[in-house]
Structure 1
Amino acid sequence: MVASKIFDLRDSSETGDDLAIPDMMFMQGEEPLGVRVLTYQSSRAINFILNALHEDEVEAIRASAFGKLVEIAEKHAFSGRFTRYLLSRQLKVNKKHEVWFWFAGSPIRFSLREFAIVTWLPCGKYPKKLKLKMKENLNEKPYWSTLFVKVEVVSVKSAVKMLRKKMMQDTNIRIKIVCLVLLSSVLLSTNLNIKIMREHAEAIEDIDEFFWFPWGRMAIDMLMSSIKERDKIALSQKSIAVKGFVLAIHLVVVESVPSLTEVVVEHCSSSESDSDVDADECRQKLENNTHTQPQTCSPC
């Protein structure tokens, strides 16, 4: 069965016209035959990051608000082709935090609620002061220097390199750095040269408060905006790039249809899972054309 209780439109308690299934973005049988969806992260990003840690450090992440990411790295593979299939079968939904996909004869919802269920991330309302807490006293030493000493700009790649080479020994510092890396490159990935943000580094000084912040809501805001800004013309391109934690879409569908895990892994081509260089080149072309007329990126 495709639809489960939390995903089935027909499970809604609403009545009347609200129960009507929205129209498809593309007529059945007329969906574009695109190549795949590209994300601004390696298909093996989470494992690559976690492999730079000691076992006890991985377990510390597993026990945190980011713990589901460890489980995701162990169990799921990303297929850009499958994501492309789903995005081409969207229903017309105007809600900010909600999209629907028509899959195997049933509608499946992907919304803030489902995102929270599959990621375990805090997805509550933003605090009244939206900006992350920064230093109140301008003369106070920035926490950035505690994490990265005198390095002024730190990319995700260089941060992982620091962890791998054990350039910092303090376990608490290492855990904080990997959380910043996961946040920037997995949950909030926006480009190919992702850098650690200073406001995130300042916020993680109090790691409990950092984990309390609704990163899940911020992540789905980014992902939904990236999905919804792509109209029928954009979705008709052979390859499209989507920002944010796109893998969450897979997690929701697999939660509804567990047997899909084997199917997706079996049909995920080696070029999708292993050829990150080609994928990066394709993403770069799409990124360069963001503010120009839609163009078709050559298949990766």
Structure 2
Amino acid sequence: MTKSKQSETTVRRRTRSAGEELPECPPAKQQRYPGMWGQFSDGVPSSVLPRTLFAYGAYPTKLRVNIYSKSHVIGSVAAALRGMVAMDTLMASQFRGLFELPVVRCQNSTKLIGCLLSRQLVTACRHEFWFTFGPDPLRFSLDELRDVTGLNCRAFDVQDSEASESVPPTMWNKLFDTAVGKITVLSVLRMLGNKYLAVEKWLPLALIPLVDGVLCPSSKDLKLTPRYVEMLSDVENFLAYPWGRESFLTTVPRFLPPLVVAPRENPLQVTRDRLSQKTTVCYGFPLALQLFLFDALALRSRLFSQSTK
């Protein structure tokens, strides 16, 4: 009996739209933290900055950021795979950096992320998030995300960017016994807690929460992305996929004014209205922005200490 069309999963490869063009590789570190040296760009003093999204002193005060990414998932995966070959494989891959992040001491701070979003600078850079911290401007781009996480941020290959193709949900059927779309990250973590789980399932099931629960979540209940599950048919390619770039493209567009708005709408005003609400949603991995800021402040502290000696 042939499978019905409803049992097929549409595997969508990322397409390179005009709004998602990125450099072939992260830009060179001209100035990783421009504000640390009082410069916004070469030859321009930090006192000359683009305008801010909100006027000084008019920042939102009641904003609560709803962050879908759950950093505790990293620890849950590590605990489930302790002493296993699957964990050794993860530690030898691009995901090693996630397990080395200080997430135990640094959980998502919704207030801090909301504060940074409210203090963003209005620039023409579609894939750079500029904001002020004190008197200094800072930039969060693909380069900074790579430095913080150690993830692969290379350009997408042709097969990663090709048009959509419909294939049966092969890996979904192998890993789960439910219909496509009925499984969440929490369900997968429970499966990893089963010591009788088939050996060949440990690594694929460990990779899914890292992607759908930490790096690229797009739903509040952390439902699995069928496309990501089907990519596990080739684990080697999955481990080599540019998850840093995928996470960046899931995260940063939500920080910035939208590319497409309704007729007569102002993208900047749309963003102001969104950040002026009681709650707003952040997709992807905002914790990388938070860790980047802490890293920058630590560097600033060291430079200040050296200058006072």
Specify if TM > 0.5: yes
Superposition RMSD in Å: 3.2
The corresponding residue for 2:32 is: 6
**Deviations, residues 90-147 of structure 1 (Å, cap 9, x unaligned):** 11123221011100211111011111111111112111233589999x79x9233333
Match of 1:165 in 2: 194
| Cα distance in structure 1, aligned partners of 2:57 and 2:105 | 32
In structure 1, the residue matched to 2:244 is: 216
Deviations 1:134-170 (A, max 9, x none): 999x79x92333333x333332111111111235131
- Normalised to the residue count of structure 1, the TM-score between the two structures is 0.73
Deviation at 1:14, TM superposition (A): 4.8
Matched, 1:251 2:291: yes
In structure 2, what is the equivalent of residue 207 of structure 1?
A: 235
Hey, what does 1:241 align to over in structure 2? 281
Tell me the SS of whatever aligns to 1:129: helix
Runs of 5+ consecutive residues of structure 2 not aligned to the other structure: 1-29, 259-269, 301-309
3-state DSSP of counterpart to 1:151: coil
C-alpha contact 1:61 1:70 (8 A) present in aligned 2: no
Matches within 5 A, 1:119-134: 119-131=149-161
1:93 to 123, 131, 149: 123
Amino acid at match of 2:146: A
| Higher mean C-alpha displacement, 201-210 vs 109-118 | 201-210
Q: What is the aligned partner in structure 2 of residue 184 from structure 1?
A: 212
- Shifted more, 238-247 versus 205-214: the winner is 205-214
Q: Does 1:145 align with 2:173?
A: yes
Q: What does 1:26-105 align with in structure 2 at a 5 Å threshold?
A: 26-42=54-70, 44-56=72-84, 57-72=86-101, 73-105=103-135
Q: Secondary structure at the match of 1:95?
A: coil
CA–CA distance in structure 2, aligned partners of residues 198 and 121 of structure 1: 22
Is the aligned partner of 1:106 residue 2:136? yes
Q: Aligned partner of 1:61: which letter?
A: L
Change (3 A) 1:14 1:250: same
Shift of 1:177: 1.1
1:59-85 CA distances to partner (integer Å, 9 max, x unpaired)? 432322111111123453221111111
Structure 1 pair 165–90 and aligned structure 2 pair: CA distance change class (3 A): same
Secondary structure at the residue paired with 1:123?
coil
**TM-score scaled by length of structure 2:** 0.71
Q: Which residue number corresponds to residue 14 of structure 2?
A: none
Give 1:55 deviation, angstroms: 3.6
SS at match of 2:158: coil
* Distance (whole Å) between structure 2 residues aligned to residue 94 and residue 187 of structure 1: 26
Equivalent residues of 2:40, 2:49 under 8 A apart: no
Q: Report if aligned partners of 2:152, 2:245 keep a CA contact under 8 Å in 1.
A: yes
Deviation at residue 198 of structure 1 after TM alignment: 3.1
| Matched length | 253
Q: CA 1:215–1:43 in structure 2 vs 1: closer, same or farther (change >3 Å)?
A: closer
Gaps of 5+ in 1: 261-300
**Counterpart residue type for residue 64 of structure 1:** S
Structure 1: distance between partners of 2:51 and 2:66: 26
Q: Which residue of 1 aligns with 2:11?
A: none
Q: Which residue of structure 2 lines up, in the alignment, with residue 115 of structure 1?
A: 145
Which amino acid in the other structure matches residue 87 of structure 1? Answer: L
| Contact 1:134-1:202 at 8 Å conserved across structures | no
Deviation at 1:35, TM superposition (A): 4.0
Q: Distance in 2 between matches of 1:104 and 1:60?
A: 42
